[in-house]
Structure 1
Amino acid sequence: MAEIKIRMPPAAGPLSAEDILTTEAGTKGSQDLKQTGQLPVVITQEVERGRYSTFVTSLRPRTSLIQKLVAEIISTFILVFTGCGAVMVNEISNGKVTSVGVSLAFGLVVTIMIYAVGHISGAHMNPAVTLAFAVARHFPWTQVPLYAAAQCIGSITASFMLRWILHPAAYEGATLPTGSDVQSFLLEIVITFILMFVIAAVSTDTRACGELAGIAVGSAVALNALMAGSISGASMNPARSLGPATASGNYHSLWVYMAGPTIGALMGMLTYNCIRLPNQAMQCACNKPAKSFRR
């Protein structure tokens, strides 16, 4: 019985010239042994990484916490600036954007930001979403306050910029209930539940189509805004409501948009975890770093 030694590096990386020659020799030896009818004995042997492999590994990007927080500030800024800006422009232009256009603006910006910074920070843009990820052990608790602060900073900055640019309609960006506070509170819980249920499915379950996560989440935002926008404002996001409220100085019914989305997000995440199909790989999910939209 013949013996073949195959030299294998301890981790994935570019093969050196020595490794390539060794692999080719092993392949040739296997072909020769097939003709003689003998079965080879394969012995794996670890070798030290070459200088080139070590150099390439050192160049691999590693996302720091500062980069994640900056990504959350920028993405939340763009979300509030374009979404709430669409509401203000609709008021200034006497309804030319329309409520459908406002809903699509929010859905499109969420989709774009997920694809733009999802691989950096997870593109939460929402303190309620960050909290729900942490409760489900998909995000470290130590980073929750930092993420929430970054999201609020991005929202408040965008709101004050909109106030400076579109001052006559600055108050229009705030989310205010048209009916009773209880009605809007219940609506915010339900629509945020729907949103978080979709987020949990496409971002935490590896069997879902992760490449379409941005489209799915953005569509859920647009759908909820179409349904509930004219009644509660369809915030689904405490940071999105806090920024315009701070810039306009109108804190009326702000508790609705702080508590409602938070409760709905927690319910959506926990509900999906209850119906998730069993998967052995998920048993050690609590020991893995948080990824959310990052695959």
Structure 2
Amino acid sequence: MRTVTLRQCLLAEALGTAVLMLFGTGAVVVNEQTHALGHGGIAAAFGLVVLVLIQGLGHVSGAHVNPAVTLGFWAAGRFPGRRVLPYVAAQLVGAFAGSALVKLLAAPGSALGATLPAHGAAQAFGIEVFLTFWLMLVILRVTSGFYEQGLLVGLTISATVALEALVAGPLSGASMNPARSLAPAILSGHITAAWVYVVAPVAGVLLAVVVDRLLELRPPEA
């Protein structure tokens, strides 16, 4: 069986995160200019690109494309600590590259799909904690050895992303991903609440790891 190298994994993570930005935040920018997609279309774009990335790159790197997810897998004991920083670095590189390409399509003054609180940082923080908690919990549940069933894994995770984006997008942007939020925020200059989209996802995935352990099936006591 052929072994996947770390270099290949990092390339997949960088490429995957760039594609996430191109189709996800790219959908936001296209809708700003044409109003052709609407909020539902943007949510669908994020869900669909996540499905494509999982099916296309999951066998190479796991298709984390999200520093919070990488951290969550490490905290759950499913990912080696020595790979966490290289993965996060690759994801950030990919996010900035993808966002830079989106900027070429955007009109002057565009936020490039940056996630911004609709009603204050406190509300956005709480929403992002819950959204990332639920996303990570779903990921941990469906990728466990007992439940994993190929294509259904990608469909379940992408449906979760689309659902959360559809419902919570208007309130917090439904980021769940520090790389996805930081790149457009920095490139567009909308950095006031950027901390929300870094701290909240980290808190969310750590909470998910705790709950996942509480849900673990245990053999019956004798």
Range class of TM-score, shorter chain: over 0.9
C-alpha distance in structure 2 between counterparts of 1:65 and 1:124, whole Å: 14
Which 4+ runs in 1 deviate beyond 3 A?
A: none
C-alpha distance in structure 1 between counterparts of 2:180 and 2:46, whole Å: 11
By percentage of residues, which structure has more strand?
1
Can you list the C-alpha shifts for 1:218-254, whole angstroms capped at 9, x where unaligned? Answer: 0000000011100100000000001111211221100
User: What is the number of equivalent residue pairs in this alignment?
Assistant: 220
Question: 1:65 and 1:172, CA in 2 relative to 1: closer, same or farther beyond 3 A?
Answer: closer
- Secondary structure of the residue aligned to 2:170 is coil
Can you list the C-alpha shifts for 1:236-278, whole angstroms capped at 9, x where unaligned? Answer: 0000001111211221100110011111111112211211112
Structure 2 counterparts to residues 1-16 of structure 1, below 5 A: none
C-alpha distance in structure 2 between counterparts of 1:170 and 1:65, whole Å: 36
C-alpha distance in structure 1 between counterparts of 2:110 and 2:90, whole Å: 22
Can you list the C-alpha shifts for 1:45-97, whole angstroms capped at 9, x where unaligned? Answer: xxxxxxxxxxxxxxx4210000000000011000011000000111101x221
Structure 2 counterparts to residues 103-182 of structure 1, below 5 A: 103-168=43-108, 170-182=110-122
CA contact 2:126–2:200 (8 Å) conserved in 1: yes
Structure 2 counterparts to residues 3-152 of structure 1, below 5 A: 60-93=1-34, 95-152=35-92
CA contact 1:91–1:172 (8 Å) conserved in 2: no
- Secondary structure of the residue aligned to 1:254 is coil
Bigger mean CA deviation after superposition, 262-271 or 179-188: 262-271
Residue 170 of structure 1 and its aligned partner are, at CA, apart by: 3.4
CA contact 2:103–2:112 (8 Å) conserved in 1: no
Residue 224 (str. 1) matches residue 164 (str. 2): yes
Percent of aligned pairs sharing the same letter: 42
- Tell me which residue corresponds to 1:242: 182
TM-score w.r.t. length of structure 1: 0.72
CA contact 1:138–1:204 (8 Å) conserved in 2: no
Residue 126 of structure 1 and its aligned partner are, at CA, apart by: 0.6
- Tell me which residue corresponds to 2:211: 271
- Secondary structure of the residue aligned to 1:103 is helix
Larger Rg, first or second structure (1 or 2): 1
- Tell me which residue corresponds to 2:191: 251
Q: Which amino acid aligns with 2:93?
A: I
CA contact 1:75–1:154 (8 Å) conserved in 2: yes
Question: 1:251 and 1:196, CA in 2 relative to 1: closer, same or farther beyond 3 A?
Answer: same
CA contact 2:68–2:201 (8 Å) conserved in 1: yes
> Tell me, which stretches of 5 or more residues in structure 2 are unaligned?
none
Residue 169 of structure 1 and its aligned partner are, at CA, apart by: 5.8
Question: 1:172 and 1:164, CA in 2 relative to 1: closer, same or farther beyond 3 A?
Answer: closer
TM-score w.r.t. length of structure 2: 0.95
Q: Which amino acid aligns with 2:103?
A: R
> Tell me, which stretches of 5 or more residues in structure 1 are unaligned?
1-59, 280-295
Superposed CA RMSD in Å reads: 1.5
C-alpha distance in structure 1 between counterparts of 2:119 and 2:148, whole Å: 38
C-alpha distance in structure 1 between counterparts of 2:26 and 2:135, whole Å: 22
Residue 200 (str. 1) matches residue 140 (str. 2): yes
Structure 2 counterparts to residues 178-193 of structure 1, below 5 A: 178-193=118-133
